[in-house]
Amino acid sequence: MLPILGIGIRGLGKLYAKVLGLPPDDLPWDVYLLFPGGVLCEREAAKPRYWMHQVFYPSDNHLDAHKFRLEVEKLLRF
């Protein structure tokens, strides 16, 4: 159980499938989510500033280490 949102892991997956625009039955796994500092998930799932994955999802966000590093560096400059 995730006490902040009051849901279990499967529930968190369903929330993030919606947030990431994935089909409802595709629970996200092997994903990398970037959030700016200070983001809290108290009542709802926060939308990441940027995300990538290592599995097939219908998105252009397949993991690319160089691109991901650039996005991390952008967030660290805030």
Say what the pLDDT of residue 12 is.
Answer: 81
Give Cα separations from 72 to 18, 29, 35, 59, 64 (angstroms). 23, 20, 9, 19, 12
Say what the pLDDT of residue 44 is.
Answer: 77
**pLDDT exceeds 80 at position 59:** no
**1 — pLDDT class (breaks 50, 70, 90):** very low
Break the chain down into helix, strand, coil percent, rounded to 5.
30, 15, 55
Taking only the tens place, the pLDDT of each residue in 4-56 is 556 777 788 888 888 988 887 888 888 999 998 888 777 778 899 999 988 77
Domain residue ranges of the chain, discontinuous segments joined by +: 9-76
**pLDDT exceeds 60 at position 2:** no
